[in-house]
Amino acid sequence: MTRSRYLGRTETHRKSLLRNLVTSLIEHESITTTHAKAKEAQASAEWLITLAKNKSPNVQDARVRANDAIFKPDVVIPKLFGDLADRYRNRTGGYTRVLRLEPRLGDKAPQSILELVGGKRDMRFSMTARIVARLEKQGLPLDKMTEKNVRTAINSKSEEEFREEVEFMKETFYQHEKSIENKPPSRESKPRAPIRLVDNPLTASK
């Protein structure tokens, strides 16, 4: 195993980290973390789902092996051997997917979303919320494509859920970033009005 696959941690710490990531992924069906951690957690999750698919829930050996790779067995094991095994019964692999995100504005750390295929989380929903969060923190207007994606996100869920996701993205990625409105304007740029997404984009233009 190469040094990079230890994620800068001891073997014990690395295993604990991956157990925590995989547990959160199975429980919530989507997590946001660094790209390196997402790829490692993806491999563990794929192995666990394959194990659950190929073994009966009553087979003690399969449950014991799965239990060693997760936390919260009372929550994760029933879902893993039940709902997820059924969901992916006809799939031969590719139970998870990783979507690269833009680096954090502060330390430029590469970030990714790892989610279960066909899960309750929508990557486009989260990606759109993150873009809006960044633009709001920078005091920049939404481009036409982002406005369109916001409308789609609100249609698929609700404006309240979208705003909650935007605030989550701000807290996760941009909490230490200062809006460009607080910086002196350069000669090359014009002052921009702050972003306000109080109204539903579907009705804002009416």
Q: Domain coordinates of the chain in residue numbers? A: 11-116, 123-181
Q: Nearest CA to 114 among 173, 7, 170, 37? A: 37
Q: Which pLDDT band, with edges at 50, 70 and 90, does 185 fall under?
A: very low
State the distance between the two ends of the chain, measured CA to CA, in whole angstroms: 59
Closest CA to 77 of 90, 59, 98, 96: 59
Q: Could you give the 3-state DSSP secondary structure of residue 196?
A: coil
Residue 204 has pLDDT above 90, yes or no: no
pLDDT in tens, 69-105: 889 889 999 999 999 999 999 888 899 989 887 776 6
Q: Which pLDDT score is estimated for 206? A: 45
Please tell me the predicted confidence (pLDDT) of residue 43.
94
Per-residue pLDDT at 22 exceeds 90: yes
Q: Judge whether residue 137 has pLDDT over 70.
A: yes
Q: How far apart are CA 44 and CA 39, in angstroms?
A: 9
Q: What local confidence, expressed as pLDDT, does residue 102 receive?
A: 74
Share the mean pLDDT of the chain: 78
Residue 60 CA to its chain's centroid (Å)? 32
Percent of the chain with pLDDT over 70: 75
Over pLDDT 90: what percentage of the chain? 28
Contacts of 193 (CB under 8 A, 6+ apart): 141
Closest to 122 (Cα-Cα) out of 177, 162, 67: 162
Matching residue, tokens 């563990």: 44
Q: Confidence band (pLDDT; 50, 70, 90) for 34?
A: confident
CA-CA distance, 18 to 166, in Å (whole number)? Answer: 26
pLDDT at 159 over 60: yes
Strand, coil or helix: what is 96? strand
Answer whether CATH 1.10.10.10 is correct for domain 11-116: no
Q: Is it the case that residue 151 has pLDDT exceeding 70?
A: yes
Residue 8 — very low, low, confident or very high, per pLDDT cuts 50/70/90? low
